[in-house]
Amino acid sequence: TQLLEQSPQFLSIQEGENLTVYCNSSSVFSSLQWYRQEPGEGPVLLVTVVTGGEVKKLKRLTFQFGDARKDSSLHITAAQPGDTGLYLCAGANSGNTGKLIFGQGTTLQVKP
């Protein structure tokens, strides 16, 4: 069974601080995605990383895929209250079945 462990599960910080969220597994994934979810809505894709060691940037968000394609991180620089939400990592099964599994999520609160 493939599992994705996210840490931390909860994070409360002040505006302007930096933070990193981790997504770890003992399994290899063909790709890894990060989603953000607002209350009452479904998750929305932020980024997909495919190549081991890949780094992608989305404004103040930096995503990295581990060299072995087993882990990923999301770093937010100078967090803003608008970054508040639930962040989820998701791994695509390397067996090409389409199966997509999610981590437990990280709830981020950024205080003004």
Binding residues for other proteins, rule: CB under 8 A, are 1, 6, 9, 30-31, 33, 35, 40-45, 48, 50, 88, 90, 92-93, 96-105
b/e 8-43 (16+ beta carbons within 10 angstroms → b): eeebebeeeeebebbbbbeeebebbbbbbeeeeeeb
| Residue 19 and residue 12 in contact, taking contact as beta carbons nearer than 8 Å | no
State which residue, 10 or 112, has the beta carbon closest to other proteins: 10
State which residue, 25 or 31, has the beta carbon closest to other proteins: 31
> What's the min distance (Å) between Cβ of 99 and other proteins?
6
> What's the min distance (Å) between Cβ of 100 and other proteins?
6
State which residue, 14 or 26, has the beta carbon closest to other proteins: 26
What are the residues whose beta carbons fall under 8 Å from the beta carbon of 45, sequence distance 6 or more? 33, 34, 35
